[in-house]
């Protein structure tokens, strides 16, 4: 799963994992909510992430963003940033998004946001370029609904313990793949 705008107007897709590079193709695109589902050909099974069960995020909650921003110049390895939830709505009171302060860069779109219990609470979708720490993520409830509509199990659970950002990075690195999209 990634953001629809990441693959929009592109024709060739690859997924890079720790095990290798694999061809992918879009199977479902929800432009309204900026979500896309890719099918990966020939890749080993992906370790699933868990979505937060029950109550959504709250202002002040700590979050970690794990992704591959600026992969072509940053060495291509997993990048980790941390911050907090700063608002429960996106621009213009968009209830499908929340605002967070963890730093993001171009290429962060589609990255998951983890809470300190190791559950995904959202997916990075946008930022306000001139706004300081005005970053937005699609809420996990919408992501789970999207996956369920695609007939894909969306595991969810309540946190049993707290993790450090380092533990989250180590634990979920193998669950995250870099999406490469090009016109040809």
Phi-psi region of 20 (alpha: psi -120 to 50; beta: other; left: phi over 0): left
Share of the chain above pLDDT 70, in %: 98
Q: CA-based angle 7:65:146, to the nearest 5?
A: 50
| 24 neighbors 40 (Cβ within 8 angstroms) | yes
pTM of the model: 0.93
- The H or E element that residue 17 is part of is strand 12-17
Domain ranges of the chain: 47-176
Q: If one looks up domain 47-176 in CATH, what number appears?
A: 2.40.10.10
In this prediction, residue 72 carries a pLDDT of 76
| Segment 24-43, tens digit of pLDDT | 999 999 999 999 999 998 88
User: Six-digit token pair at 51?
Assistant: 């979505």
Left if phi > 0, otherwise alpha if psi is -120 to 50, otherwise beta: which for 34?
Answer: left
pLDDT per residue as tens digits for the range 138-148: 999 999 999 99
The string of pLDDT tens digits covering residues 62-90 is: 999 999 998 878 776 889 999 999 999 99
């Amino acid at each position: 799963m990634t953001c629809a705008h990441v693959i929009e107007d592109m024709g060739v897709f690859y997924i890079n994992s720790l095990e290798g590079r694999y061809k992918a193709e879009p199977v479902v695109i929800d432009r309204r909510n900026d979500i896309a589902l890719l099918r990966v050909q020939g890749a080993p099974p992906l370790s699933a992430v868990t979505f937060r069960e029950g109550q959504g995020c709250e202002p002040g909650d700590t979050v970690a963003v794990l992704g591959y921003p600026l992969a072509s110049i940053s060495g291509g390895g997993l990048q980790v940033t941390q911050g907090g939830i700063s608002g429960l709505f996106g621009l213009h009171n968009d209830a499908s998004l929340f605002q967070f302060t963890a730093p993001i860069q171009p290429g962060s779109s589609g990255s998951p946001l983890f809470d300190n219990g190791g559950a995904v609470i959202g997916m990075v979708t946008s930022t306000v370029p001139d706004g300081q720490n005005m970053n937005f993520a699609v809420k996990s409830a919408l992501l789970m609904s999207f996956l369920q509509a695609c007939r894909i199990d969306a595991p969810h659970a309540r946190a049993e313990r707290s993790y450090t950002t380092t533990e989250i990075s180590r634990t979920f690195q193998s669950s995250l793949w870099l999406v490469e999209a090009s016109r040809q």
